[in-house]
Amino acid sequence: MPQKMQDAFVGAVLLSAGLVWCVLVWRTIPPGTGGGDVGPRAFPLLLGALLSILSAVMIIKAFTGTPAVEADLPIDDAEPEDSSTGGSVGWLTVFLTFAHMIAYAFLMQKLGFLLSTVVVVASIMVTCAGERSPLRIVGMSVGVAVMCWLIFGKLLGVYLANGTWINLG
């Protein structure tokens, strides 16, 4: 996707998000009582409007403005490569990582920290990290789970999730 189109697309997504936000705010949050009371609705509404305006400007700039200046130095810590080099593969990874984190949250609640960590780490090793050696998969998943459980749960007394179906530790 050329830069212009990408900018317009991002702008459009943000614009619709801003507008939906405004409608939701308007319909669900009551206004203030007047006088010196600013009310709970003012800020969210103002911010939603600001986002809509800014993203509208972004769309307009994408079609009329000069192309943005490319900075060649690092812009942010996690600056990913240009998506054009391997689009679909990239989004598969995104989906898999996201799915694992959602699954981790779900399993943590059901199986407790130890078991859920073993399961999720093993699954990530196979699907995301492309690991095939059973020894390393088991070693890594059990190792990470037990180490974290010992350090955080036992040594530092941080409260780790307990499972509702089954619970170890």
Please list every residue from 73 through 132 that binds other proteins, using CB under 8 A.
73-80, 83, 85-86, 89-90, 92-94, 96-98, 100-102, 104-105, 108-109, 113, 117, 120-121, 124-125, 128-130
Q: DSSP letters of 67-89?
A: PPPPP-S--STT-PPPGGGSHHH
Candidate list 70, 88, 132, 135; residue touching other proteins; CB under 8 A:
70
Strand, coil or helix: what is 34? Answer: strand
Cβ(149)–Cβ(160) under 8 Å?
yes
Candidate list 4, 12, 14, 167; residue touching other proteins; CB under 8 A:
14
- The length of the chain is 169
Query: In angstroms, what is the minimal distance from the CB of 50 to other proteins?
Result: 5
Between helix 134-148 and helix 87-127 the angle, nearest 10°, is 80
Interface positions, 40-59, toward other proteins (CB under 8 A)? 40, 43-44, 47-48, 50-51, 54-55, 57-58
Residues 6 or more apart whose CB falls under 8 angstroms from that of 168 comprise 112, 114, 115
Strand, coil or helix: what is 2? Answer: coil
Query: In angstroms, what is the minimal distance from the CB of 105 to other proteins?
Result: 4
CA 82 to chain CA centroid, Å, is 19
Closest CB to other proteins among residues 30, 132? 30
Q: Is 4 among the residues that bind other proteins (CB under 8 A)?
A: no
Q: Is 72 among the residues that bind other proteins (CB under 8 A)?
A: yes
Query: In angstroms, what is the minimal distance from the CB of 168 to other proteins?
Result: 16
Query: In angstroms, what is the minimal distance from the CB of 134 to other proteins?
Result: 16
